[in-house]
Amino acid sequence: MRVLAVQEYFGLAAKAIRFIFARPFYIGDVVQQMDSIGVESLGIVLLTGFFTGMVLALQTSVQMAQFGATMYIGRLVTASMVRELGPVLAAILVAGRVGSGIAAQIGSMRVTEQIDALNTLGVDPIKKLVVPRLVAALIMMPVLTILSDTVGIGGGNVIATAYVGIPTGLYWRTVWEQIASGGFILHYIPSDFVQGLTKPFVFGGIIAVTGCYFGINTKGGTEGVGNATTRTVVVASVMILIVDYFLTQVLLFLFG
């Protein structure tokens, strides 16, 4: 991306964040976007979460068997899902499914002059189009991640019980041990959750802003819309992975 584009990108992000708290509030649009993000992504997020949990359990069971420590499968699956794989996988999937959808929708509004029409009718497209998608993504991404984590840990349970013979009760006790081992914030909130939910929140923002940015800047008819969707998926996915690293460093420093 060109330097100017980077500046525009963050300009859009800053403006959208500022407008979250400014009238008018398009509550209806937010609900509609939450619905569409949730409905569009729930299936794939659950499916991939489940299989990821299973494969994690399978791999760790092989490794752990060498040390006779297979009872720790639950701990490992939980740590990996909650801190890393749940947030990152869900975000990458949503970037592909929802981010591209946002870019396509706003992009086609751009090339059919609907964005100009909003401006002409005295409505700021950032307030009407970007903010509802941003808010919806900020809310739905953590929700999707919690669900992904849960079915992932559930998938681990299936493998741990079926292949390794760890009783379900023991499995879930080790899951809880893992969650508790990270310590608590304000006595009740496991710090793993804080880490595990800060990430999807940030990733949700990245997905919405990236989709809106490439959508709004679409040029050149239907072909341009195709370009906008492709770029959104690539840029959002790469950003998610890079930001994940730095965010992990910061979160580890803050919460251990």
Partner 1 sequence: MTDIPPDTTGAPAPPEHEEERRALPEDDGEPRLRRAEDELRARFAEELEESEEAQERVGVSREAIVELEHISLAFDRPILEDVSLVARRGETIVIAGESGTGKSTTLKLILRLLRPDSGRVIVDGEVLNDVTYEEALVIRQKMGMVFQGAALFDSMSVFENVAFPLREHTTLSEDEIEARVREKLEFVDLEPDRVMDQLPAELSGGMKKRVGIARGMAVNPAIMLYDEPTSGLDPLTTGTITRLIMKLQRELKVTSVVVSHDIRSAFRMATKIALLAEKKIVFFGSPEDMTASQDRYVQDFLGGV
Q: Closest separation between CB of residue 12 and partner 1, Å?
A: 13
| Closer residue to partner 1 in complex, CB, 24/167 | 24
Nearer to partner 1 by Cβ, of 32 and 248: the residue is 32
The nearer residue to partner 1, 33 or 80, going by C-beta atoms, is 33
CA-to-CA distance for 25 and 128, rounded, in angstroms?
A: 9
- Residue closer to partner 1 (CB basis): 122 or 165: 122
**Rounded CA separation 104/148 (Å):** 26
Interface residues with partner 1 (CB under 8 A)? 24, 109, 112-114, 116-117, 119-124
- Whether the Cβ atoms of residue 41 and residue 99 lie closer than 8 Å to each other: no
Between CA 100 and CA 107 the distance in angstroms is 10
CA triple 140-145-150, angle to 5 deg: 130
Cross-strand partners of 190 = 184
Q: How far is the CB of 120 from partner 1 (least distance, A)?
A: 4
What one-character DSSP code corresponds to residue 163?
I
Cβ contact 130:29 at 8 Å:
no
By CB neighbour count within 10 A (0-12 exposed, 13-18 middle, 19+ buried), where does 87 fall? buried
Which residue lies nearer to partner 1 by CB, 55 or 111? 111
CB 37 → partner 1: shortest distance, Å?
15
Minimum CB distance to partner 1, residue 230 (Å): 22
In terms of CB distance, is 112 or 230 closer to partner 1? 112
User: Of 31, 147, 167, whose CA–CA distance to 86 is shortest?
Assistant: 147
